[in-house]
Structure 1
Amino acid sequence: MNVKKISLILLGGVAALLLLAALLAPRLLGFSVAQLDDAVRVATGMGAKLACSGRFISGFEPSRIVEDLASYSPANRLLELEYGDDRVSATLLGMGRTSAIYREGLGCTLDIGDTGPLDRVRVTPVETNGEEWPLGSSVSSIDPVLQERVEAMLAADNRAGLQTRALLVVQGGRLVAEAYGPGIDAQTPLLGWSMGKSLTAIMLGRLEHLGLADTTATPVFSQWQDDERAGITMEDLLQMSSGLAFDETYAPGSDATEMLFNAHSASDLPLASPAALDPGSHFSYSSGTTNLIARWMHDRLGGAQANLDFFRNEILQPLGMAHTVFEMDPSGVFVGSSYIYASARDWARLGQLMLNRGELNGQRLLSEDWVARAATPNGSDNEPRYGYQFWLNRGGASPRYPQLPEDVFLMQGNRRQRVMISPSTDTVVVRLGWSASRYPTGENFARLLPGS
């Protein structure tokens, strides 16, 4: 067979694949043929990034990674994922090759543009000890009755297909119950998705406590000083009421997917977003605004190394968080909206810090005033039940979770990641998993409160 004939066969195969995609896409794959280019870029970017982090941070097998990706779109089953010693590449129907690279202590980053800043970063591990949680790794306070309930709840969740991977309860400052799914233990870092927004806010709160940030100062960025965005404050960003136009829908070509899976700098797109509404007037959930906060901290502290050192020295080490990875975008800025992997015990440490009004392990990291503001309803005209990157149970016409105390506030992330902080019951509950459908947060968490 000559070269010309082979080329015609190959071209015919590609044409057939494109025709197949065009026929299947609207009904089976979840996007139209007009979105094919965007869909390929999103699928391969998402596939490479999540597969890399899932493999090298969480230690997942490729089969689990494929199922996790397919929960977002059946098209992801068509991804070809190639695993190397420190990277993963992805193609879809032979198109859109994208790769993500793993760096010890930094996690995985898409290989887009100049990633030199990441290559120059040096990571210092968090020091650990055998002291009792939350200071160290020892746990001797398990309540056998509650432990049995937590184990039964996790098993019931997974029989129902909810894929709960970690479930943990802290009461009175002591870790009293924890259970884990197959292949996961107390040290396994798991993706929190948008729970990272709360951690990003905590970092800003630490900066404020050190006198390095002001939530009321304007303009937040010099690029906004001469237009209608000049009046946006950091508090507006924290409360998701900046008024900036940003498309949070997770569809091919949207602002959110471009930012997370195709951009060299995750904050560039929201930084250039125009004003659509008056600052503070309207709540509009936006991962872009969180990445603006991360960008501001990056600039304020002076680059990737300084940000990583701050995170390690001012958050991780004081809290004893030895199993947490905060990933950066290819430009070296933390992806504060989405890419934080932490063990259930580390997520619980953050919850306990907030429950203790900013103090943990004998150190005050946040002011009591900042914690109070973080859990206070915003002043928007449509959804006041959101504080400083925390979801609130109170503040609206009805509680977000009627089964839970009114003062509850939460970190929440995609696939029903949850850290519940309940001041009136002195309780923190962590739930990590991969639920594509509704998770009974209120019903389940109410059964884990004291006296239930």
Structure 2
Amino acid sequence: MKLFKRILILFIIIIGTIVYLNYPKLNIISGYAAKSMASSIFVAQRSATSVTQQDNNVPLIKLATTEIDEKTESATASVYGLMKRKAIYRDGLGTVLINDDYNENDFTLKPNRIFSSDTIPYPYGQASPKDTVFPEINEEQLSKSIATAFSNPEIQKTRTVLILYKGHLIAEKYAEGFTKDTPVLGWSMTKSLLATCYGVLEHQGKLEMSWPAPITAWKHDERKDITLNHLLRMQSGLAWEEDYTKISDVTKMLFLDSDMTQAQKDKKSIAIPTEIWNYSSGTSNLLSGILRQQFRSHQAYLDFPYIALIDKIGMNSMVLEADIAGNYVGSSYSWASTRDWARFGQLYLERGNWNGEQIFSPSWVDYVTEPTLHSDGTYGAHFWLNANGKYPDVPRDLFSCNGYQGQYVFVIPSKSLVVVRTGLAENPVFDVNAFLSEVVKIVP
């Protein structure tokens, strides 16, 4: 009997320790599940069943149970009834995880949009794409390249693929449940969009990348030497842990913080600028906060990305999501259809020129594609690069917007190609080199 009691006590201690160590993680798990469900339903107009079976059917997240309230446009998730988290939809701002202090009347602004409805063929306008035949395109190879992306759906989990050549749509394919109009979460592709806002402001003569970051708290310590360029290149030397497998700087920021622009701002310096390269979503959200400082009002900040960039090139489906405080989550949360993501890539292929209007300087493309020190040629300024041949069978001039779970906008200037691929598996599970090596073969 004594032995049984000892075993029981030991068992209780073990279970208690497991619960104690993992209980805080439930907050992140519930938060992820609620946010994913709410955005997928109220932004992307998808079904709860598809989100449960696909997006949220991943380790740990699938432990959460999520309930939808169509009336309040919200989703609530918990893990076995514990750590309930709620995400609500806000018109124009997407969905946001709320906390106990949330008051819907604290922030009521939303961006003003100008949705274009011209008769210019896609991708430069809203009309249907031209049915153009390029004699140099190898049609058999084109079909093969698309098939490569969808050849093993259970493993590759590709959702959409689209290819533009010389500004013309030459191929697109969508998995079941997705169409040309379905908004897709870009995750960290949002970083490239945020950086482009800086390129627009630079082109307008309103700031320079060499300027010190305008952070008052940094003016009297070693962080005073950090510039906008250092932040855009992820070489500020600030501490940051980008680990999505545990409670880390990035998961706390995305799923717990009301104001996501603060997390990186409060970090100490661990190296002088340019001494190390450290990928940080906190840095991108800090840049979103610095972007806010460039405008006299919060409304002007909310309007700027749309007026100066997104709506200007006809990305009508795009939604930038904001945190509770109304700051764009420039690290992670933007939604757009595959066709609209391709417009963004085409803007870069055209070196900032859109239907004759220069959105940002052509030199901006050279800037964002210049390899950053210590990144092994894989990173520029909030864009990913192939400068050192990470993808060995693809031209070295390729640069891209990359997002979690394999969201990609690839720009290949030497081939006049823009390639978009979205899904739920990233490199190497989805073999980017194998896919793109087939794509580039379509052009002599």
TM (norm. structure 1) is: 0.88
Structure 2 letter corresponding to 1:441: V
Aligned counterpart for 1:438 among listed residues 416, 421, 429: 429
Correspondent of 2:83 among 96, 101, 111 = 96
| Equivalent in 136, 143, 146 of residue 125 of structure 2 | 136
- Distance in structure 1 (CA, Å) of the matches to 2:318 and 2:416: 24
CA distance in 1: counterparts of 2:361 and 2:191, whole angstroms: 19
2:65 matched residue in structure 1: 79
Higher mean displacement: 146-155 or 414-423? 146-155
402, 426, 432: which one aligns with 2:416: 426
Q: Which residue in 1 is equivalent to 2:161? A: 167
Q: Which amino acid aligns with 1:293?
A: L
Is this contact kept in 2: 1:247–1:286, CA < 8 A? Answer: yes
Question: For residues 122 and 378 of structure 1, what CA distance do their matches in structure 2 show?
Answer: 33
Q: Deviations over 1:364-415 (max 9, x none)?
A: 11111111010001123x5342111011101x4xx11101001111111110
Unaligned runs of 5+ in 1: 1-18, 27-31
* Structure 1 residues 301-322: Cα deviation after superposition (integer angstroms, max 9, x where no partner): 2454212211111112221111
What's the CA shift string for 1:81-131, capped at 9, x where partnerless? 333331111122112221111123221111233554642325435222332
How many matched pairs? 423
Is the alpha carbon distance of 1:379 and 1:252 closer, same or farther for their aligned partners in structure 2, counting shifts above 3 Å?
Answer: closer
Question: Percent identity between the aligned chains?
Answer: 31
What is the letter of the counterpart of residue 140 of structure 1? K
Structure 2 match to 1:259: 253
* 2:35 is the counterpart of 1:42: no
Distance 1:376 1:346, change over 3 A: same
Q: For the structure 1 residues 364 and 75, does the alpha-carbon distance in structure 2 shift closer, same or farther, using more than 3 Å as the test?
A: closer
* TM-score, normalised with respect to structure 2: 0.89
Aligned to 1:109, the other structure's residue is in SS state strand
Q: Distance in 2 between matches of 1:191 and 1:173?
A: 24
SS at match of 2:311: helix
Taking the aligned partners of 1:218 and 1:116, their CA distance within structure 2 comes to: 35
Q: Distance in 2 between matches of 1:340 and 1:117?
A: 23
Paired with 1:334 and 1:235, the residues of 2 have a C-alpha distance of: 20
One-letter identity of the residue aligned with 1:447: E
**How many angstroms does 1:350 deviate by?**
1.0
The answer to whether the Cα contact below 8 Å between 1:39 and 1:252 also exists between their aligned partners in 2 is: yes
Structure-2 residue corresponding to 1:294: 288
Q: Which amino acid aligns with 2:37?
A: A
Amino acid at match of 2:436: F
Residue 380 of structure 2 aligns with an amino acid whose one-letter code is G
Q: Does 1:110 align with 2:103?
A: no
Could you say what the CA RMSD is over the residues aligned between the two structures, in angstroms?
2.3
- Residues 48 and 89 in structure 1, CA contact (< 8 A), matched pair in contact too: yes
Aligned AA (1:65): V
Q: Which of 319, 337, 348 is the equivalent residue of 2:342?
A: 348
Decide whether the 8 Å contact of 2:30 with 2:61 is kept in 1.
no
Once the two structures are superposed, the pairs formed by residues 202-351 of structure 1 within 5 Å of their partners are 202-351=196-345
Query: What secondary structure sits across from 2:439 in the alignment?
Result: coil
Partner Cα distance (2:97, 2:306) in 1: 23
For 1:349 and 1:119, the matched residues in 2 are separated by 30
CA distance in 2, matches of 1:290, 1:345: 25
Mapped to 2, the partners of 1:312 and 1:102 lie a distance apart of: 19
Letter in 1 for 2:24: D
The question of whether the paired residues in 1 share the 8 Å contact of 2:368 and 2:380 is answered with yes
For residue 266 of structure 1, give the secondary structure of its aligned residue in structure 2. Answer: coil
Q: Which runs of 5+ in 2 are unaligned?
A: 1-10, 134-138
